[in-house]
Amino acid sequence: MAVWALGINHTTAPLDLRGRFAFALDQIAPTLQGLRQSLSGTARHPQVETAIISTCNRTEIYCAGQETALEHTLDWLAQSGGVSPSMLRSHSYALEDGMAARHAFRVASGLDSMVLGEAQILGQMKDAVRAAESAGALGSTLNQLFQRSFAVAKEVRTSTEIGAHSISMAAAAVRLASQLFE
């Protein structure tokens, strides 16, 4: 089974572009269904697995199927955000198999967050997995990927001090503001 991830985040795209690809939790189920229908015609497998992580700093689509359909996934996402595929391509990242898994591990662990070690993303990933499962879009391959990501995140937090002093972006802003006005 091939696994691929396509995303934009705080390092690859400006806020206004990220906003075009933000999906509210109640939009996830119909969005996943539309994505699955679109990919099923291309991926030579009627049961493409999909999940979407959508936060203020990132939107990532994780998929699993018989063959990678990264280009089709990018075209679908560009259309859903009302931008050209070339515009999205220049602000996104596309990862396959081991690189997609490694990226999911980094995201879950807070290593790919705007504030290093930020823990909120782990809960957001768990919410995305629950939403994909409820929509019938999560299969065994993506479920294993995410469960392993959660285990890696736990290991990173318990074996390092990454979470010991981490704060949210809002708390970091408050701390900076208080230092500026002392």
What pTM did the predictor assign? 0.86
Q: Give 3's strand partners.
A: 64
Residue 141: the pLDDT is: 96
Residue 158: the pLDDT is: 84
Active-site pick, 1, 17, 29, 56: 56
- Concatenated DSSP letters for 27-48? HHHHHHHHHHHHHHTTSS-S--
Residue carrying the six token digits 């662990």: 109
Name the strands in the sheet holding 93-96, side by side, starting at the edge strand that comes first in the sequence: 49-54, 58-65, 2-9, 93-96
Residue carrying the six token digits 């690859």: 12
Catalytic: 56?
A: yes
The CA–CA distances, whole Å, from 39 to 21, 34, 36, 48, 122 equal: 18, 9, 5, 7, 27
Residue 119: the pLDDT is: 75
The number of domains in the chain is 1
Residues sharing a CB contact under 8 Å with residue 74, sequence separation 6 or more, in sequence order: 6, 85, 88, 89, 92, 94
The CA–CA distances, whole Å, from 92 to 13, 19, 67, 109, 140 equal: 7, 14, 20, 21, 26
Q: Which of 114, 124, 90, 111 is nearest to 153 (CA)?
A: 111
Residue 43: the pLDDT is: 47
- Virtual torsion, Cα 107, 110, 115, 118, nearest 10 deg: 130
Backbone angles phi, psi at 65, to 5 degrees: -165, 180
Residue 31: the pLDDT is: 94
Can you give the residue range of the structural domain that contains 163?
A: 2-180
Taking only the tens of pLDDT, the chain with its 182 residues reads 899 999 999 999 999 999 999 999 889 999 999 999 888 875 455 679 999 999 989 999 999 998 888 999 999 999 999 999 999 999 999 999 999 999 999 999 888 877 776 778 899 999 999 999 999 999 999 999 999 999 999 998 888 876 665 555 666 666 666 677 76
CATH code of the domain in which 114 resides: 3.30.460.30
